């Protein structure tokens, strides 16, 4: 069959697909499909549908096959059989269209990730996808493929622990791997402090230069900039200058821009000018998948049945990770293989422990500790080694890891980008103090009470 005819058929299918799925899904997976051939075979027709990558194929086969089939049969007016082909020629074509660079993957060291303030294991591959985050995932993929050209800015919002930071950093990861160095991850709070300092020291030029030279700026928990007029003003200009220069901006928040209190109206509208996607709470399958991914990363072989058991008990990714941490340390302590009974016992204990307790965000823990010791959070996160700063810093690391269940690396990142060995050291020191000094034990208990954590011995 000639190409024009094939294209005409596909145009009909394409039009139907375009209106039936969300824009990110269409842009990421469906836009580049085409009908390669349509041949008579025996009594029916065989259609070959071409796409440009394995991940497009697996998505389309998994979720869109039925619909594509129906639409095509409608166009052709006959029953068809389908085949998928990955066309390398199309890959090239598509790459040039999308302006994606053709260079090979760049090898990156731990230092590269630290410089960009990112965690190395926050990748798209390590991100489990399900209904609640499918759209955000597709959007992140599209943005990673075409920095500055797909959705700009990309705004991701959702509750605590749904994977916003992870997904955002995955885009940064892809950018670094493609050879782009001008990548920076920045918590909203830090961004704010940076600007406040600069305004105070009259060094705004320097700070401007730092942000404006970026190709990809990721601002995490951007709601923190709200309410501070001068900071918002500065950000507004940085934001515009990056977008005009073709740079990509990604932001996360706990809510959509329109609902962020005290956020400048100009920023509200700018934030929504690209794409706003939300991530909902993880369903059971996703929770199980997250556990399996995390266990694998830590070299812990977690049987599926155990993962499912745990996933029925905990709702949030952070709690799941916390439990996994507990399970692994239990195994290290026991020095024998754990059984499913151990898992059940630990889950039961966990119930007691978290009974009545609130789910805390790391930010709440940080603020509470800073308040408690009357030391500004910026100093706790800073480099100074005065005794009155070092101790709160260590207690904070201890609480985030032991009570919050955050991995060592994540704690290090949150507390001013420290190495995980520093966190291990802090945990050791605080642990020893608690066990040998009654006053300190009481102090940490007090803090736990303030945080609303149940105390259990
Ligand atoms: P948020 O920024 O939304 O509060 P994070 O990105 O910090 O959440 O995620 C919390 C933890 O849960 C991280 O360790 C992250 O890797 C993990 N996580 C969340 N969602 C997923 C997912 N879909 N796949 C794999 N890990 C996930
Ligand atoms: Mg986050």
Distance 283 CA to ligand 1 centre (A): 13
3-class secondary structure, 252: strand
To test the pocket of ligand 1, the residue of 128, 161, 219 to mutate (highest count of ligand atoms within 8 Å of its CB) is: 161
Q: Which residues does ligand 1 sit against, CB inside 6 Å?
A: 126-128, 133, 158, 160-166, 290, 293, 317-318, 321
The Å distance, Cα 340 to ligand 1 centre, comes to 26
What CA–CA distance (Å, rounded) separates 217 from 226?
18
**Contact call for residues 155 and 275 (beta carbons, < 8 A):** yes
Rounded Cα distance between 234 and 223, Å, is 15
- Among protein residues, the one with the nearest Cα to ligand 1's atom 9 is 163
Q: Which atom of ligand 1 is nearest to the CA of 361?
A: 4
pTM value is 0.64
CA–CA distance, 424 with 426 (Å, rounded to integer) = 5
Starting at the edge strand found earlier in the chain, the sheet holding 34-41 runs: 34-41, 44-51, 80-86
Distance 34 CA to ligand 2 centre (A): 38
Q: Which atom of ligand 1 is nearest to the CA of 252?
A: 2
Q: Which ligand is nearest to the CA of 221?
A: 2
Which of 155, 161, 122 lies closest to 249 in space, CA to CA?
155
- Position in ligand 1 atom list of the atom nearest CA 121: 16
CA dihedral 358, 359, 361, 365 (to 10 degrees): 40
**Phi, psi (degrees; rounded to nearest 5) at 397:** -60, -40
Ligand 1 pocket test: pick from 130, 137, 290 the residue with the most ligand atoms within 8 Å of its Cβ: 290
- HSE, CB side, 13 Å, CA atoms: give it for residue 268: 13
- For residue 292, report the distance from its CA to the centre of ligand 1, in Å: 13
Q: Pick the atom of ligand 1 nearest to 168's CA.
A: 6
Contacts 24+ apart (CB under 8 A), 94-100: 94/32, 94/52, 98/145, 98/146, 98/149, 99/146, 99/149, 100/145, 100/146, 100/178
Number of Cβ within 10 Å of residue 225's Cβ equals 24
- Ordered strands of the 216-220 beta sheet: 183-187, 216-220, 248-253, 154-158, 275-279
Q: Choose one of 123, 124, 166 to mutate for the ligand 1 pocket test, by most ligand atoms within 8 angstroms of C-beta.
A: 166
Fill in the DSSP letter of residue 60.
I
The secondary element (H helix, E strand) that includes residue 185 is: strand 183-187
Which residue's C-alpha comes closest to atom 12 of ligand 1? 317
Kindly identify the ligand whose nearest atom is closest to the C-alpha of 137: 1
Residue 400 DSSP symbol = I
Residue of 52, 141, 125 lying closest to 90 (CA atoms)? 52
CA of 252 to the centre of ligand 1 (A): 13
Q: What is the best residue among 317, 324, 362, 404 to mutate for testing ligand 1's pocket, by most ligand atoms within 8 Å of CB?
A: 317
Q: Would you call 252 exposed, middle or buried from its count of C-beta atoms within 10 A (0-12, 13-18, 19+)?
A: buried
CA of 166 from ligand 1 middle (Å) equals: 5
Distance CA 233, CA 422 (A): 37
Kindly give the number of the ligand 1 atom that is closest to the alpha carbon of 159. Answer: 3
Please report the atom of ligand 1 found closest to the CA of residue 137: 23
Q: Which has the closest alpha carbon to 372: 266, 447, 453?
A: 447
Q: CB neighbours (10 Å) of residue 178?
A: 18
User: Consecutive 10-residue runs of the chain (457 residues): their mean pLDDT?
Assistant: 89 88 79 88 86 75 82 87 74 46 72 92 91 92 93 95 96 95 93 89 89 96 91 92 96 95 94 94 92 92 92 89 87 80 84 52 88 91 92 95 84 92 92 85 86 58
Terminal alpha carbon distance of the chain: 76
């Amino acid at each position: 069959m000639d190409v024009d005819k094939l294209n005409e058929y596909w145009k009909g299918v394409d039009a139907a697909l375009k209106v039936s799925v969300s824009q990110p899904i269409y842009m990421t997976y469906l836009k580049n499909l085409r009908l390669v051939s349509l041949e008579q075979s025996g009594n029916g027709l065989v259609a070959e549908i071409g796409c440009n990558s394995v991940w497009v194929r697996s998505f389309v086969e998994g979720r869109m096959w039925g619909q594509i089939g129906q639409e095509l049969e409608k166009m052709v007016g006959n029953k068809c059989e389908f085949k998928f082909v990955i066309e390398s020629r199309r890959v090239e074509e598509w790459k040039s269209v999308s302006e994606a660079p053709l260079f090979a993957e760049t090898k990156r060291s731990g230092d590269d990730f630290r410089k960009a303030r990112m965690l190395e294991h926050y990748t798209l591959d390590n991100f489990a996808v399900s209904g609640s985050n499918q759209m955000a995932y597709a959007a992140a993929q599209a943005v990673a493929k075409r920095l500055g050209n797909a959705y700009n800015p990309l705004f991701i919002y959702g509750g605590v622990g749904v994977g916003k930071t992870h997904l955002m950093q995955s885009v940064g990861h892809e950018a670094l791997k493609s050879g782009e160095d001008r990548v920076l991850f920045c918590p909203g709070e830090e961004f704010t402090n940076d600007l406040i300092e600069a305004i105070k020291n009259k060094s705004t030029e320097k700070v401007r230069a730092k942000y404006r030279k970026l190709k990809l700026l990721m601002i995490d928990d951007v709601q923190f900039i709200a309410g501070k007029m001068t900071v918002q003003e500065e950000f507004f200009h940085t934001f515009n200058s990056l977008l005009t220069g073709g740079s990509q901006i990604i932001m996360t928040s706990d809510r959509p821009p329109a609902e962020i209190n005290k956020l400048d109206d100009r920023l509200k509208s700018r934030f929504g000018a690209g794409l706003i996607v939300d991530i909902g709470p993880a369903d059971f399958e996703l929770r199980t998948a997250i556990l399996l991914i995390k266990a694998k990363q830590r070299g812990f072989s977690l049987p599926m049945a155990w993962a499912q058991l745990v996933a029925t008990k905990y709702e949030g990714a952070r709690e799941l990770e916390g439990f996994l941490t507990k399970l692994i340390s239990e195994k290290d302590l026991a020095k024998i293989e754990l059984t499913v009974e151990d898992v059940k016992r630990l889950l039961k204990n966990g119930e007691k422990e978290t009974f009545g307790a609130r789910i805390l965000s790391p930010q709440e823990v940080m603020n509470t500790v800073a308040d408690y010791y009357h030391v500004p959070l910026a100093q706790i996160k800073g480099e100074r080694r005065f005794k009155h700063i070092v101790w709160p810093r260590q207690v904070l690391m201890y609480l985030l890891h032991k009570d919050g269940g955050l991995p060592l690396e994540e704690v290090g990142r949150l507390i001013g980008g420290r190495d995980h060995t520093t966190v291990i050291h802090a945990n050791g020191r605080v642990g020893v103090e608690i066990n040998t000094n009654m006053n300190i034990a009481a102090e940490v208990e007090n803090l736990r009470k303030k945080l609303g954590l149940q105390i259990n011995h």
